[in-house]
Amino acid sequence: MIPQAVFWISVSAIAYNYVGYPVLLFLLSALAQAKSDLRFLLGSRARRRPHVERDLPSVAVLLSVFNEELMILTKVKNCLNLDYPADRLEFLIGLDAPTDDTALVLSGVPSQQVRVIHFPSRRGKLAVLGTLAEETSAEIIITTDANTMLNRDCIRTLVRHFREPEVGAVSGEETRITSPGADPAAESFYWRYESALKFLENRLNCSLGGNGSVLAVRRDLFRLRKPSIVEDFQIPLDIRFQGYRVVYDPEAIAIEEIAPTISSQFVRRIRLGAGDFQTLFCNLSCLDPRNGMPAFCFFSRKVLRWLTPIFLILAFVCSGLAVRSAMFAVLFAAQCLFYLAAFAGYENKKHKRKSSPLIALPFHFCSMNLALFLGLIQYLSGRQSLAWKVTPRAVEQESI
């Protein structure tokens, strides 16, 4: 009986995380939207304050860089073309002890808006960003990545929310461009699914994390309380549980190309997986039920998602132990077929063949969960460094 019980608990947890929670989230957000609409109709007040140019805050865009000589000028050009008053915008680039010619490339940038700060030894992204934040007096800090291109109106879109004093951080939407090593169908489906969850959680004032490639934070709240691999989740999480709002704005768009090879994508996911478990074990107090809906959303979306690899292993093993039952024999066979489809998807991607969704989606699902599991092992082993390794780029350098 115990294997059967463990199987159903594991399957229920996975089903709730991927299906039940989104449905519940949709229903709750629909009620919240109806309440907001009723308030609007009864109060006859504008939902958004009109834009006033003189209200624009000063902004500092922070960028931690390691070995980005192929990308850095393209990034700087993108930053300098953003639609925001030049006298209220500066760019701080921290060179995290690069071993390539990134510093040499940046030495030819003529703009006075760009400040380059050199770090002689590797410190990691979070430590570099923390030091850069101390070098500016700007009211709003925006973090981004070298391989992420911000839409021209991105900064204006982000900072409009800070006219509300209860807003502590705003995260934008990352649009991912597929590369030769990616599966467009599976990637597109996954990111649309994630964006929908973020949109619904935002309606319920339960946004907890952010997107490090397009994340805006009030400078006085940009505090690095804990060492973290995934700073774009840790910083907004701290801000939300201090009582401030964390807003998700899908109109603040950043464009990033997915890593061009299977191996580079997988290595990146393992690192993020290690960061996820670091975040979990460092923030167990956030799961206190007295924290209300934010704690509920943190558990339902993040914690259960991070534990899915363990649930998958338990479900497979326990159904195998109960295989004498006809029902569990069918369930065990179904899992075997699912993993065989995932392996077929891997072989197709390895040999650069197209896959149908019936193969591509199982591979994408299994790949993410295997990376999460390896990330857990890496975190528990204590071998994960806070410093990122450079991701292969499939771009050519531009000039300013």
pLDDT per position in the chain (400 positions), as tens?
Answer: 899 999 999 999 999 999 999 999 999 999 988 887 788 788 755 555 555 556 799 999 999 999 999 889 999 999 999 999 999 999 999 999 999 999 999 988 888 899 999 999 988 888 899 999 999 999 999 999 998 999 999 999 999 999 999 999 999 988 766 555 455 666 778 888 999 999 999 999 999 888 888 999 999 999 877 677 788 888 999 999 999 999 999 999 998 876 666 777 888 889 889 999 999 998 999 999 999 999 999 999 999 999 999 999 999 999 999 999 999 999 999 999 999 999 999 888 888 787 787 888 999 999 999 999 999 999 999 876 666 566 555 555 555 5
Residue closest to 319 by CA, chosen among 304, 305, 330, 309: 330
Residue closest to 245 by CA, chosen among 285, 210, 279: 210
Output the CA angle 189-198-179, nearest 5 degrees. Answer: 35
Output the CA angle 301-2-332, nearest 5 degrees. Answer: 70
The two three-digit tokens of residue 349, written as one number = 């991607």
First to last CA, the chain: 68
DSSP assignment, residue 21?
Answer: H
Report the DSSP beta bridge partners of residue 85. Answer: none
pLDDT of residue 177: 62
Q: Which helix (H) or strand (E) holds 95?
A: strand 89-96
CA 295 – CA 290 distance, rounded (Å): 8
CA 31 – CA 245 distance, rounded (Å): 19
DSSP assignment, residue 82?
Answer: S
The two three-digit tokens of residue 267, written as one number = 């290595």
Q: Report whether 319 contacts 328 (CB < 8 A).
A: yes
The two three-digit tokens of residue 62, written as one number = 């922070």
pLDDT of residue 287: 93
Angle of helix 262-282 versus helix 231-240 axis, rounded to 10: 30
- Per 3-state DSSP, the chain is made up of helix, strand and coil in percentages (nearest 5) of 55, 15, 30
Domains defined for the chain, CATH in brackets: 1-35+265-387 (no CATH), 55-260 (3.90.550.10)
CA 359 to chain centre: 25
pTM of the model as a whole: 0.86
